[in-house]
Amino acid sequence: MKLVRFGQPGAEKPGIVDADGVIRDVSAHVADWAGAALDKQTLARVAALDPKSLPAAPSGVRLGSCVARPGNFVAVGLNFADHAAETGAPIPEEPILFNKAPNCVVGPNDDVMIPKGSTKLDWEVELAFVIGKTALYVSEENAIDYVAGYCICNDMSERAFQTERSGQWMKGKGSPTFGPLGPWLVTPDEIKDVQNLAMWLEVDGKRMQDGSSKTMIFGIRRLVSYISQFMQLDPGDIITTGTPPGVGLGMKPQRFLKAGEVMRVGIEGLGVQQQKVVPYQG
């Protein structure tokens, strides 16, 4: 099942995508795709509905993030062996974790805003997953039981803030619009092998990233289990799992985003995003 949220910012409704690609409104059955609505019982109840009995969303409607604002937005750094190599970093012995601001989540096709004072705005196609039930001290064996679904995240990064301003990476990871999410959340039953999905990103039509989730150092099971040893993950929390090579930081010479450029971001089975880069608006 593909879960989607549609409508104007702050007024999105929950939906599902039917077999013909039509968005169907499920707001009569679910308040929003957030929290307890992502548990297996609710998802099974919605999956049992006849999509054709549900109202269709307006054609061309804006897509919001595929889940509502999370309580936690956790990211994993240097989690692809080939990306670590391009940055010159050693392979981590344990997952590197940092936070993205929960309020940086936006829709998959919303504009990305250049932060005030930014000089090194960068892109990162990432495979994200969303927690479906409370996870604490979870075993790797049972980890997928805690995953509500998978989606695309463009882990936007301001590299000067991240690496040149001292302290934690979160300085370069949480500005407004730095978390495009979607277009939809795909339940695990629709993904044959989450550790073997093609991933790509283009800037103004030029392919920058072309990788696969098979080069992840720490897979989904390991990450659910590992993170749950240090914090409680709640339904609706987002974990984004790292990026393959091809980021602007790793290029020679380095290449960063400018206002007016357009990114297209895709992962096999999870759809495509598109964002335009715009100047700071404030």
In tens, the pLDDT along 100-142 reads 999 999 999 999 999 999 999 999 999 999 999 999 999 999 9
CA 208 to each of CA 181, 203, 222: distance values in angstroms, whole numbers, following the listed order: 19, 7, 28
Query: Which two three-digit tokens encode residue 273?
Result: 């995003």
Q: What residue numbers bound the domain in which 27 lies?
A: 2-53
Residues 35 and 83 reside in one and the same domain: no
Residues 32 and 137 reside in one and the same domain: no
Rounded Cα gap, residues 260 and 263, in angstroms: 10
CA 267 to each of CA 44, 91, 151, 239, 270: distance values in angstroms, whole numbers, following the listed order: 25, 24, 8, 16, 5
Residues 150 and 259 reside in one and the same domain: yes
- Considering the domain boundaries, does residue 140 fall inside one? yes
**The pLDDT value given to residue 229:** 98
Residues 49 and 80 reside in one and the same domain: no
Three-state SS sequence of 172-185: HCCCCCCEEECCCE
- Considering the domain boundaries, does residue 60 fall inside one? no
Residue type at 25 in one-letter notation: D
**Whole-structure pTM value:** 0.96
**The pLDDT value given to residue 22:** 97
Query: Which two three-digit tokens encode residue 13?
Result: 């409704």
- Considering the domain boundaries, does residue 194 fall inside one? yes
**The pLDDT value given to residue 168:** 84
- Considering the domain boundaries, does residue 85 fall inside one? yes
Query: What digits encode the pLDDT tens for the residues 138-193?
Result: 999 999 999 999 999 999 999 999 989 888 888 999 999 999 999 999 999 999 99
- Flag whether pLDDT at 41 surpasses 80: yes
Residues 47 and 111 reside in one and the same domain: no
Residue type at 236 in one-letter notation: G
Q: How many domains does the chain have?
A: 2
Residues 258 and 119 reside in one and the same domain: yes
**The pLDDT value given to residue 167:** 80
Task: Look at the alpha carbons of 82, 86, 90, 92 in this order and tell me if their dihedral is positive or negative.
Answer: negative
**The pLDDT value given to residue 90:** 85
